[in-house]
Amino acid sequence: MADILNKIGSFSSEMGAEITAYDPISQELFVVSGGTEVQVLDLSDPTNPTEVIPPIDLASLIPDIDGANSVAYSNGLLALALEASTSTDPGKVAIIDIAAYKNNPADPNALTVVQAGPLPDMLTFTPDGTKILVANEGEADDGIDPEGSISIIDVSGGIATLSQDNVATADFSAFNGREAEFRAKGVRIFPDKTVAQDVEPEFIAVSSDGTTAFVNLQENNAFGVVDLESATVVDILPLGAKDHSQGQPTLELFEFNDLPVLGTTEGGQEIKLGGLSGLFYEGTDPATGNLKFVTVPDRGPHGKPTDVDGDGSKERPFALPDYQAQVIRFELNPSSGEIGITETIFLTRQDSTTPITGLPNIAGVDEEPVDLSGNLLPLDEFGAELEGVVIAADGTFWMVDEYRPAIYHFDTNGVLIDRFVPQGTAALAGAAVGTFGTESLPEEYANRRRNRGFEAVALDPDENILYAFIQTPLQNPDRATSNNSDVIRILGIDTTTGNAVAEYVYLLEDPAFLSGGRVDKIGDAVYAEDGKLFVIERDSAVGDTAKKFIFQIDLTAATNLLAPDAPTLPTGSTLEQLSADDLDALGIQAVNKIKVTNLPSIGYLAGDKPEGLALLDDGKLAVLNDNDFGVLEQEIPVDGSVP
C-alpha cells in the first residue's frame, strides 16, 4: 500500500509541539506546547523549517499564568489562550501584533491581554478575523468547580485600544434548573451539578457567515449553539446516548413501482395508491425469501384545507370521497428489489357491509369535509385516519387513528370487532354513548390536536398490551400548551378488555435551535422485547438536515401513571404543562431513550413523513414513508381537481 503522507522536513525543539497556527502569507507557523513559550517557524522551505525569532516568553510578559493551551492566527494577530496559575481562576487571552512584536518586542502596542473564563482551553477567530472565540472549560479542581463559558473578543478595531469592554461572555446559567430535561435528551450532567457547572466547553467551530458558533461540550456528550451577535448560548444539543456495539447503521432503499390506481377525481385525475402509514412485518416466505409486510393508507387522498365557500373557515377537501379504509399486504424481494402487492382487505363496520371511510366523525370538533367542487360531504361516525397497524397472534388487526383518537380492532377479514375511544366522545356530539365506539380510553385523550391523535402502535405479545402513541403533545388544556410541550403520552390497553392499564411519558428531543420546525411528532413504533421498543421521532422538514430520529426506548424503569401508586399531579396541572424537571421533582420517570440513528444522516431522504417502522427477524429495521398519495400541500382550485 502506497504511503499517504511522506515526511519532507522537520524541526526539533526541547519545548515540544502540541498546538499550531499557520499564516499562509508569511508562511510562518506558530507553535505552543502547554508551556509559556511560543515558537515562530519559517516554513517557506518546508524541507528545512527554521526559527524566525527566539521563542516568545509569555511568562516574562504576563504574570500569574501556567501555560498556553491554544493558539490561533488571523490578519496579523496572534491569539493565545493562557491558563491561570490556579486553573480554577479566570484565565487570560494574549493578543500579539506579530509584525510589531518582531520589529520591537518592547513595543507596548504589540501585546494586549484580556481576561477570559477559567481554563481557556481553545480559541479561534471568526472567518473575517473580527472576533476571537474562547472555550473556557471551567474544569473542576481541588473541590472548586467553576462554570464553563465562551468568551467573545471583538478585535475589529485592532488591539491598540482593546480593553475588557471588548469582551463578552456567553454562559450557560440560563439552562440551570433544566438538568432533568437535558439528561432525558442524553446530555451527561452529574446529579449534584447545575448545567452551568457541569458543561465544559472544549472546542469551537464557526459558521461560514460568522454569526453562529458550535461548541463541543466533550464531557457532556453534547454541543452548545452560540449566537455571536448577542453573545448568547441559544441551545444545548445532545449527541444522544448510543449503543456503539451495534455498529454504524447502513441503508438499503427499495421503491414501490407501478402502484395501482386508487380512483379518479371529478376532474379526471388518476390517483394511485399511496399515503402508506404504519408497517408490520409478517415474516419471510420460506419458498421465495420475500419479506412480507402489512400497511394501511390513511384517510385517502386529500387536499390542503381551503375556504371553498367563502365563510372565512377552511374546509378539508377529499379527492376521493368514496374511499374505503383498507389493509394492504405486500412482499419485497430483497435480491431484486421488486415490491408486489399481494392482498387488499377492505374495512367495514360490524355489519360486514357498511364501509369504513376516511371521513371525519363529529361536526364542530373535526374538520368539515368537502369534495373537490366544494360540496359538503357527510360525516362518518366510524371514519378513520389510520396511522398504524399490528397483527395479533390470532391474526386479527389492531390499528390506531388520528381523528378521535381511536384504537380499532378488526377480524382477519377486515370486519370491525370494536373501536375504543376516549370517555366523553359521544357527549362532544350530543349523541348516545357508544355512537362512536366503546368509551374506554382516558378522557384527556380527546384533547388531541386536530388530526394529531394516535400515530403509532406496538404490541407486546407476552403481556397482551397494545401501546398507542399520541403523535404530538395534547392541547391539554390548550393549543399553546401543545406548542410548548415535549410530553408524548404512550397509552397501553389490555387487548382482552380494551381497558387502559398503562400510561408512560416519552420526552421529545426538540431543540430550540432548528431549521425545519419543531421536532414534535411521532412517526411509528414497533415492539422489540423485554419492554423495549423502537420509535421514530420527527420534524416536518425534508433534506439532509431534517430530523428523523429512530430511538430505542425502554419502559421497564419508567413510571406507569395508571398504577395505583403513581405520583399525583399538582392540582390544576396537566402532564403537558410540566417540564422534564417538574416531572422529575414529582418522581415521574420518562422512558429511557437510546438513539439509533437520524435517517437523513444515513441517506434516507424519502420525504418528510417516515411513518412506518417494522423489526425484521435479523434485527434490521424497515422504514416506510407516507407520500400523501402524491397530492401537493396546496389549496385546491375548487374545480374538481387537486394540485
What nine digits make up the cell of 111? 501585546
pTM > 0.95: no
Q: Return left, alpha or beta for 543; rule: phi > 0 is left, psi -120 to 50 is alpha, else beta.
A: left
pLDDT of 513 above 80: no
Burial classification of residue 484, based on how many CB atoms lie within 10 Å of its CB (0-12 exposed, 13-18 middle, 19 or more buried): middle
Please return the burial class of 378, using the count of CB atoms within 10 Å of its CB with bins 0-12, 13-18 and 19+: exposed
Choice between 550 and 6, residue whose per-residue pLDDT is larger: 550
Pairing between β-strand 37-42 and β-strand 28-32 as defined by DSSP bridges: antiparallel
Q: SS3 letters for 48-105?
A: CCEEEEEEEEHHHCCCCEEEEEEEEEECCEEEEEEEECCCCCEEEEEEEEHHHHHHCC
Residue 545 corresponds to which cell in the numbers above? 438536515
Cβ neighbourhood burial of 131 (10 Å; 0-12, 13-18, 19+)? buried
Average pLDDT estimate for 569-583: 96
Contacts of 578 (CB under 8 A, 6+ apart): 487, 569, 586
Over residues 133-149, the pLDDT tens digits come to: 999 999 989 889 999 99
Task: Point out which residues pair with 19 in neighbouring strands.
Answer: 32
pLDDT, the chain, mean: 95
Q: Is the pLDDT of residue 591 over 90?
A: yes
pLDDT number for residue 1: 47
- Cα separation, 221 vs 203, in Å, equals 13
Q: What is the DSSP code string of 133-189?
A: EEEE----BTTB-PPPEEEEEE-TT-STT--GGGEEEEESGGGTT-HHHHHHTT---
- HEC sequence for 502-569: EEEEEECCCCCCCCCCCCCEEEEEEEEECCEEEEEEECCCCCCCCCEEEEEEECCCCCCCCCCCCCCC
Q: Which band of pLDDT confidence, cut at 50, 70 and 90, is reported for residue 87?
A: very high
Which grid cell sits at 559?
413510571
Contacts of 191 (CB under 8 A, 6+ apart): none
Using CA atoms, how far apart are residues 525 and 532, in angstroms rounded to an integer?
10
Give the angle subtended at the CA of 259 by the CAs of 257 and 261, to the nearest 5°.
Answer: 150
C-alpha cell at 445: 385523550
Mean pLDDT of 187-196: 93
Cell digits of residue 571: 392540582
pLDDT given at position 218: 87
Question: Going by C-beta distance under 8 Å and a sequence separation of 6 or more, which residues neighbour residue 248?
Answer: none
Q: Are strands 339-346 and 212-217 parallel, antiparallel or unpaired?
A: unpaired
For each of the domains in the chain, give its residue range(s) and CATH number, in order of start: 19-238 (2.130.10.10), 259-511+612-630 (no CATH)
- The arithmetic mean of pLDDT across residues 245-261, rounded, is 92
The three cell numbers of residue 607 are 420525504
Nearest-CA neighbor of 377 among 274, 438, 300?
Answer: 300
Burial call 384-414: b when 16+ CB within 10 Å, e when fewer: bbbbbbbbeeeebbbbbbbbbbbbbbbeeeb
What 3-state class would DSSP assign to 110?
helix
218 touches 207 (CB < 8 A): no
**Is residue 2 scored above 70 in pLDDT?**
no
Distance CA 590, CA 153 (A): 41
pLDDT, mean of residues 347-354 = 98
Write down the residue that cell numbers 380510553 correspond to.
Answer: 441
532, β-bridge pairs: 529, 554
Share of the chain above pLDDT 70, in %: 99
Q: Among candidates 225, 193, 220, which has minimal Cα distance to 206?
A: 225
Predicted confidence band of residue 228 (pLDDT cuts 50, 70, 90): very high
Query: What CA–CA distance (Å, rounded) separates 325 from 275?
Result: 12
What SS3 state is found at 359?
coil
User: Higher-confidence residue: 14 or 320?
Assistant: 320
Q: What share of the chain is helix, strand, coil (3-state, %, to 5)?
A: 10, 40, 50
Residue 445, helix vs strand vs coil: helix
Q: What percent of the chain has pLDDT over 90?
A: 92
Q: pLDDT of 449-499, one tens digit each?
A: 999 999 999 999 999 999 999 999 999 999 999 999 999 999 999 999 999
Q: pLDDT at position 15, please?
A: 86
- Upper half-sphere CA count for residue 617 (Cβ side, 13 Å): 10
Q: Do residues 90 and 118 touch, judged by C-beta distance below 8 A?
A: yes
3-state secondary structure of 47: coil
